Amino acid sequence: MRNNRSERMTDLTELGVAALRDGVASGAFTATEVASAFNAAVEAAQGALNAFIVTTPDAALAAAGKVDAARAAGQPLGKMAGVPIGMKDLFATKGVQTTAASKILEGFVPPYESTVSQKLWDAGAGMLGKLNLDQFAMGSSNETSGFGNVISPWRKGDDTTPLAPGGSSGGSSAAVAARIAPAATGTDTGGSIRQPAAFTGISGIKPTYGRCSRWGVVAFASSLDQAGPMARDVRDCAIMLEAMAGFDPKDSTSLDLAVPAWEAGLNADMRGKKVGIPREYRVDGLDADVAKSWEDGIAWLKDAGAEIVDISLPHTKYALPTYYIIAPAEASSNLARYDGVRYGLRDLPDGANLQEMYAATRAAGFGDEVKRRILIGTYVLSAGFYDAYYTQAQKVRALIAQDFAKAFETVDVILTPTAPSAAFALGQKSTDPVEMYLNDVFSVPASLAGLPAMSVPAGLSRDGLPLGLHVIGRPLDEQGVLNASLALEQRAQFSAKPGKWW
> How far is residue 66 from each of residues 117, 286, 373, measured CA to CA in Å?
17, 50, 43
Q: Count the residues of the shown chain that bind other proteins, applying the rule CB under 8 A.
A: 44
User: How far, in Å, CA of 48 to CA of 501, rounded?
Assistant: 9
| 145 among known catalytic residues | no
Would you call the peptide bond into 168 cis, given omega within 30 degrees of 0 as the criterion?
A: yes
Q: 140 vs 189, which CB is nearer to other proteins?
A: 189
* Binding status of residue 279 toward other proteins by CB under 8 A: no
* Binding status of residue 370 toward other proteins by CB under 8 A: no
Binding window for other proteins (CB under 8 A); candidates: 244-252, 260-268, 286-294, 487-495? 244-252
Do 155 and 499 contact (CB within 8 A), yes or no? yes
Binding window for other proteins (CB under 8 A); candidates: 121-129, 237-245, 279-287, 326-334? 326-334
Q: 94 vs 302, which CB is nearer to other proteins?
A: 94
Q: 110 vs 452, which CB is nearer to other proteins?
A: 110
What strand order describes the sheet that includes 126-131?
Answer: 52-55, 126-131, 84-88, 183-188, 226-231, 203-206, 453-460, 466-473, 413-417, 274-278, 307-311
Do 240 and 219 contact (CB within 8 A), yes or no? no
CB 91 → other proteins: shortest distance, Å?
Answer: 8
Dihedral sign of CA atoms 379, 385, 390, 392 in order: negative
- Give kind and range of the element (H or E) at residue 450: none
Do 446 and 478 contact (CB within 8 A), yes or no? no
Q: 168 vs 332, which CB is nearer to other proteins?
A: 332
Nearest to 128 by CA among 37, 193, 196, 203: 37
CB 343 → other proteins: shortest distance, Å?
Answer: 7
**Catalytic, out of 117, 168, 254, 430:** 168
* Binding status of residue 183 toward other proteins by CB under 8 A: no
Longest dimension (CA), the chain: 74
* Binding status of residue 476 toward other proteins by CB under 8 A: no
Q: Residues 251, 280, 307, 347: which binds other proteins (CB under 8 A)?
A: 251
Q: Label residue 267 left, alpha or beta by phi (over 0 means left) and psi (-120 to 50 means alpha).
A: beta
Q: Residues 63, 81, 101, 329: which binds other proteins (CB under 8 A)?
A: 329
* Binding status of residue 89 toward other proteins by CB under 8 A: no
CB 486 → other proteins: shortest distance, Å?
Answer: 32
* Binding status of residue 108 toward other proteins by CB under 8 A: yes
Binding window for other proteins (CB under 8 A); candidates: 108-116, 169-177, 274-282, 306-314? 108-116
**Catalytic, out of 88, 130, 206, 273:** 88
Nearest to 100 by CA among 426, 432, 370, 362: 370
CB 252 → other proteins: shortest distance, Å?
Answer: 5
- Looking only at the bridges linking them, the beta strands covering 183-188 and 226-231 are antiparallel
* Binding status of residue 46 toward other proteins by CB under 8 A: no
Q: 393 vs 472, which CB is nearer to other proteins?
A: 393
Count of C-beta atoms within a 10 Å radius of residue 340: 20
DSSP 8-state symbol, 389:
I
Strands, DSSP E only, in 1-64?
52-55
Binding window for other proteins (CB under 8 A); candidates: 44-52, 80-88, 335-343, 482-490? 335-343
User: How far, in Å, CA of 461 to CA of 61, rounded?
Assistant: 38
Q: 108 vs 502, which CB is nearer to other proteins?
A: 108
* Residue environment code for 185-217, b if the CB has 16+ CB neighbours within 10 A, otherwise e: bbbbbbbbbbbbbbbbbbbbbbbbbbbbbbbbb
Per-residue contact string for residues 374-393; x = within reach of other proteins by CB under 8 A:
----x--xxx--x---x---
* Binding status of residue 247 toward other proteins by CB under 8 A: no
* Binding status of residue 358 toward other proteins by CB under 8 A: yes
* Binding status of residue 355 toward other proteins by CB under 8 A: yes
| 274 among known catalytic residues | no
DSSP 8-state symbol, 439:
G
Q: 124 vs 367, which CB is nearer to other proteins?
A: 367
* Binding status of residue 337 toward other proteins by CB under 8 A: yes
* Binding status of residue 246 toward other proteins by CB under 8 A: no
Angle, nearest 10°, between helix axes 17-26 and 234-244?
70
DSSP 8-state symbol, 456:
E
Per-residue contact string for residues 201-230; x = within reach of other proteins by CB under 8 A:
-------------xxxxxx-xxx-------
Half-sphere exposure of 204 (CA within 13 A, CB side): 36
* Binding status of residue 282 toward other proteins by CB under 8 A: no
Do 187 and 439 contact (CB within 8 A), yes or no? no
* Binding status of residue 350 toward other proteins by CB under 8 A: no
**Catalytic, out of 114, 173, 192, 203:** 192
| 192 among known catalytic residues | yes
**Known catalytic residues?**
88, 168, 192
The site for other proteins (CB under 8 A) is made up of: 91-92, 98, 100, 105, 108, 110-112, 114, 214-219, 221-223, 249-253, 329-330, 332-333, 335-337, 339, 341-343, 354-355, 358, 378, 381-383, 386, 390
